[in-house]
Structure 1
Amino acid sequence: MITTRYEGSLLVVRQPDHGDQTGLFAAAWGNEDVPALAEHQRAATLAARHHDDGWAVWERRPSLDPATRQPTQFHKVGPIEHIPAYRAGVDRAAHGDPWAGLLVSMHAAGLYNGRYGTFRLPELADQSLTAHEQALVAEFLAELDQLQRDLLGAVRGHPTPAPAFDDPVVRQHYLLLQVWDRLSLQFAFRHGADGTIAPLPGAGGGRGVLTCRSVGAFALALDPYPFATENAVFPVAGQLVPDRPYLDPEDFLATLASAPALQLDCRVQRTGTAG
C-alpha cells in the first residue's frame, strides 16, 4: 500500500494497482532507442504485473504506523509482516509461469539484498533489523535462491548450479523489472517528481540511466524515451481518504471501502518535446 498526501487528502494506491501500471510499462517497452526484450516478453510482462501481489495479503488488514495512525508505509513494513505475505505472492507467480515466478522471486530477494547490489531506496538508509529479523531474512533469501535455481532449471531444461542473477538474460529481465517498478513509484509515490533510475539495462549487457524530469503533476519527460508509443499515458488506480489518524485497521479499511475510485493518468514524453 502506497500512501502519500495529495490535494489535502491521503492518496492510497494498492500494491496490485501499482503492479498493473508496472505491467503496462513492460507491455509497451521498446523502440529504436531502447531495445525491447528478445525473449520471454509475455512472462516478463506477467511478472511486472504481479511482482507485488504478495502485498495484497498484508493489505487485507494493514498495520498502522504508531506515529501517524495511518497505514505503515510500504518501505517501513518489517520482515515479520512482510515475508509471509510476499512468500504467498512468489508462490502464486511460480505456479503460474516459471519465468514470471523466477523474476518475482528475485524481486522479493532484491528487497533485502539491495536489489542485488544495484539500488537501495533512500528511505531505507537508516533501516536496522533485530537479530530475529535478520535470521528470518537469511532464511527467506536462502529459500528464494533455491527456488530461483529450480525455476531457471525448469525453463532451461537442465540444472543450473549458479545463482540465477549470474545468467545474463535473467539479469537483464530482473533489472528491467526494477526499472518498471521504480518508474511506477516515480508516479505513485513521488507524483512525477524529478529523478533518475539506474541501472537501465541496454544492448550487449550495457547499463545506462533513465532520467526523469517533471513536466507537471504525474507527468514526466524521459531520457532515453523507452516506449513504442509517443506521448503515452499509463493510468494507475487509487483512492482518496481523509488525511487523519485512524483508530485501528478496521477504521481505515471501512473508510477506504467507501472512498470513490480515482484514476491517475500518468503521462510520459520525450525530453525536449511538448506534451
Structure 2
Amino acid sequence: MIIQTAPTGKPHLVILQTDHALMSGAFAAAFGNEEFAALNPVEPMIYVAGHHDEGWAPIDARVEQDHKTGLPYHLTGTPLPYLVQTSAGSPAFNEIHHPYSGIMSSMHTYGLFHGRYGLSDKVFIELIPDAHKTAVANMLQAEIDRQTRLKTQMFANPTMAPLATERVLFHNYKLLQFFDTLALYFHMVHEAARGNSYFENVPRAVGDDVTINIRRVEQGIYTLTPYPFRETGMSFGYIGHPLTPQPIGTNLQVLMAKTEPVAETIILLAG
C-alpha cells in the first residue's frame, strides 16, 4: 500500500498498489505524440503498466497495521518477506497475459532492488538485512531465469524478436519506470504539498531520452515539459481510502472495508 502524506490533523489516503498501477496504465494508454514515439508493443506495455503491482493484491488485502504509525504498512515499510512475495507475484501474473508483459514486470522487480538498472542511486539490495539476503537473492535469481526463458520464447517468434533485444527491452523498461514514477508523484504526497519535480531518462525514441519537468499550476492542474501524451489537457485520476492513525490492535481490514474511497482527478497540460 501507499500511505499518502496528509496535512496536519487530516486523514491520510491509503492507496492500494493495484489502484496505483491503474493510473500508471492510464498514462501508458495516453502516451505518444509527434515528439514521443508510440509504445511498441502497445497492448502488452499498457497491460503491464496497469498491472505491474498485481503481486501486492493478497498482501494489501490483509491491511496489516504498522505499529510505528497506527496505519497500514507503507510501501517502503512493508516487511521483507512480503516484499519477496509481491516481487515474484507481479511478474508471474503478467507473464500469463503476455511474455512481453512478463519480462517487463520481471525487469521492474529486479530494478527495484538494483537501483532501477542504474537509473536511480537507491540500491535497495545493499540494505537487505542478513536474515533476508538468501530469500531475496533466490527470488532475484528466479527473475533472471524468467527473463532468460521469456527472451528465448520471443526470439523464436519473428514478430517479437526485434522487440526482445537488450536495447529495445531497456527502452521499454524506462517507459514503464516513467509511468510508475509519475503515478508515484501524485500518490506519495498530498496535493497541497506537491512541488516541482522532474523525471529523467524518459524515451522519445529508442536511444533518445529526455528529462520531463512537472510543475504544479494550481489545485489539480500540472504542466509537463516536454509533454509526452496524446493531447494536452488530459484528465487522470485515482482513488484512495481516507484513514487516520488507529490504536494498536485495531482491525484495519474491517475499518477499511467500511471507508468509502475518495477520488482525485488531475489535469496535465503541455508546459
TM score, norm. by length of structure 2: 0.89
In the TM superposition, what whole-angstrom CA distance separates every residue of 1:188-212 from its partner, at most 9, and x where no partner exists? Answer: 1124432111111232412221111
Which AA in structure 2 matches 1:113? H
Are the equivalent residues in 1 in contact too, given 2:216–2:222 (CA < 8 A)? yes
1:5-84 aligned at under 5 Å gives the runs 5-6=5-6, 8-37=10-39, 39-84=40-85
Which AA in structure 1 matches 2:156? G
Post-superposition shift, 1:126? Answer: 12
1:1-275 aligned at under 5 Å gives the runs 1-6=1-6, 8-37=10-39, 39-120=40-121, 128-157=127-156, 167-190=166-189, 191=191, 192-241=194-243, 243-248=244-249, 251-271=251-271
Cα gap change, 1:246 to 1:108, in 2 (>3 Å): farther
Larger displacement relative to structure 2 (61-70 or 225-234): 61-70
CA distance in 2, matches of 1:228, 1:14: 27
CA distance in 2, matches of 1:76, 1:217: 29
Are the equivalent residues in 2 in contact too, given 1:14–1:238 (CA < 8 A)? yes
- The alignment partner of 2:54 has SS state of coil
- The alignment partner of 1:202 has SS state of strand
Larger displacement relative to structure 2 (13-22 or 65-74): 65-74
Are the equivalent residues in 2 in contact too, given 1:34–1:224 (CA < 8 A)? no
Are the equivalent residues in 2 in contact too, given 1:103–1:174 (CA < 8 A)? yes
Q: Give 5+ residue unaligned stretches, structure 2.
A: 158-162
Post-superposition shift, 1:165? Answer: 9.1
CA RMSD of aligned residues (A): 2.2
Are the equivalent residues in 2 in contact too, given 1:236–1:266 (CA < 8 A)? no
- The alignment partner of 2:223 has SS state of strand
Post-superposition shift, 1:63? Answer: 3.4
Q: Give 5+ residue unaligned stretches, structure 1.
A: 159-163
Are the equivalent residues in 2 in contact too, given 1:24–1:234 (CA < 8 A)? yes
CA distance in 2, matches of 1:120, 1:66: 29
Are the equivalent residues in 2 in contact too, given 1:198–1:210 (CA < 8 A)? yes
Are the equivalent residues in 2 in contact too, given 1:3–1:12 (CA < 8 A)? yes
Moved over 4 A (4+): 124-127
CA distance in 2, matches of 1:68, 1:126: 25
Cα gap change, 1:180 to 1:115, in 2 (>3 Å): same
CA distance in 2, matches of 1:142, 1:21: 29
Are the equivalent residues in 2 in contact too, given 1:47–1:104 (CA < 8 A)? yes
Larger displacement relative to structure 2 (196-205 or 50-59): 196-205
Cα gap change, 1:144 to 1:218, in 2 (>3 Å): farther
- The alignment partner of 2:82 has SS state of helix
CA distance in 2, matches of 1:215, 1:135: 47
In the TM superposition, what whole-angstrom CA distance separates every residue of 1:38-71 from its partner, at most 9, and x where no partner exists? Answer: x211000000000011111211213332321211
- Hey, what does 1:161 align to over in structure 2? none
Number of aligned residue pairs: 261
In the TM superposition, what whole-angstrom CA distance separates every residue of 1:130-183 from its partner, at most 9, and x where no partner exists? Answer: 11322222211111011011112212217xxxxx99711111111100000000
TM score, norm. by length of structure 1: 0.88
Post-superposition shift, 1:76? Answer: 2.0
Are the equivalent residues in 2 in contact too, given 1:187–1:193 (CA < 8 A)? no
Cα gap change, 1:147 to 1:118, in 2 (>3 Å): same
Are the equivalent residues in 2 in contact too, given 1:31–1:228 (CA < 8 A)? yes
State the identity %.
Answer: 25
